[in-house]
C-alpha cells in the first residue's frame, strides 16, 4: 500500500449487503452500533460529494432489503444500488465492478455484512486489482467473533488497511474547521458520538 491519505476527493465509499436478513446473522458486534456507523459512513460520503455505491445480494430471499434507515439516509444511492443475483465477491459482479471503476477513484472504503463473506472477498480482489483499500471494521460484522477476526487477519495480511468509523472520518476531514471538516464532524456527532 502506498499509504496515500484518503480524502473525499480521491476515495469512494462501498457499502456491501447491509440487508435486514443478513444483519440478523451478526453476533460479533453490537448490531445497533454497526447500523449507526454505517449511517455515518453513508452520510459522510453524501455530505462531501464522495462517490457512494450500495449493493445487495438476493434481496428477494432471506437476505432482504438494505436496512430502512440506510435507504432513507441516502435515497439517491439506494435507488442506484447494484442488486447482485448471488455473486459472493461483489467485485466479480460486472455491474458493481463497472460502477466502482466509473468513479475514477483508486482508494476504496469498504464496510459490509458479513465481514467473513461479503467484505473479505471484494476487499482482497480490489487490492489485487491495484486499489488501496480500507475496511471499516465497526461498520461490519460476522456471525461469530472468530469468523470476524479470521477475516480481518486475512485481509490485513493481504494489504488491506483496517480502520474504524471515527478514525476514517477524521482522516477524511483532516481539519475540522474546513467546510468538509465541519460537515463530517456534524455527521460523526449526530450518528455516533451522541449515541454512545
- Cβ 40 vs Cβ 188: under 8 Å: yes
Report the 10 Å Cβ neighbour count for 8: 20
List the grid coordinates of 152.
480481518
* Annotated catalytic residue within 12, 40, 118, 133: 118
> Could you confirm whether 49 is annotated as catalytic?
no
Q: What angle do CA 52, 92, 113 make, to 5 degrees?
A: 55
- Cβ 88 vs Cβ 118: under 8 Å: yes
CA atoms within 13 A of residue 180's CA, in its CB half-sphere? 16
Helix spans in the chain (H):
20-23, 31-48, 68-73, 75-79, 94-102, 120-128, 145-157, 165-173, 179-191
Catalytic residues, by residue number, are 118
Amino acid at each position: 500500500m502506498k499509504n496515500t491519505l484518503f480524502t473525499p476527493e480521491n476515495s469512494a465509499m462501498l457499502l456491501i449487503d447491509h440487508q435486514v436478513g443478513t444483519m440478523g446473522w451478526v453476533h460479533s458486534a453490537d448490531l445497533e452500533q454497526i447500523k449507526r456507523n454505517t449511517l455515518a459512513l453513508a452520510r459522510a460520503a453524501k455530505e462531501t460529494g464522495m462517490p457512494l455505491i450500495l449493493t445487495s445480494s438476493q434481496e428477494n430471499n432471506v437476505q432482504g432489503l438494505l436496512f430502512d434507515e440506510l435507504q432513507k439516509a441516502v435515497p439517491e444511492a439506494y435507488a442506484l444500488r447494484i442488486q447482485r443475483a448471488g455473486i459472493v465477491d461483489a467485485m466479480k459482479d460486472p455491474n458493481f465492478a463497472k460502477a466502482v471503476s466509473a468513479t475514477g477513484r483508486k482508494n476504496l472504503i469498504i464496510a459490509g455484512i458479513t465481514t467473513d463473506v461479503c467484505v473479505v472477498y471484494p476487499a482482497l480482489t480490489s487490492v489485487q486489482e491495484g486499489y488501496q483499500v480500507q475496511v471499516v471494521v465497526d461498520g461490519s460484522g460476522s456471525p461469530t467473533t472468530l469468523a470476524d477476526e479470521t477475516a480481518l487477519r486475512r485481509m490485513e495480511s493481504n494489504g488491506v488497511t483496517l480502520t474504524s468509523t471515527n478514525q476514517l472520518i477524521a482522516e477524511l476531514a483532516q481539519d475540522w474547521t474546513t467546510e468538509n471538516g465541519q460537515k463530517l464532524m456534524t455527521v460523526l456527532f449526530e450518528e455516533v458520538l451522541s449515541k454512545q
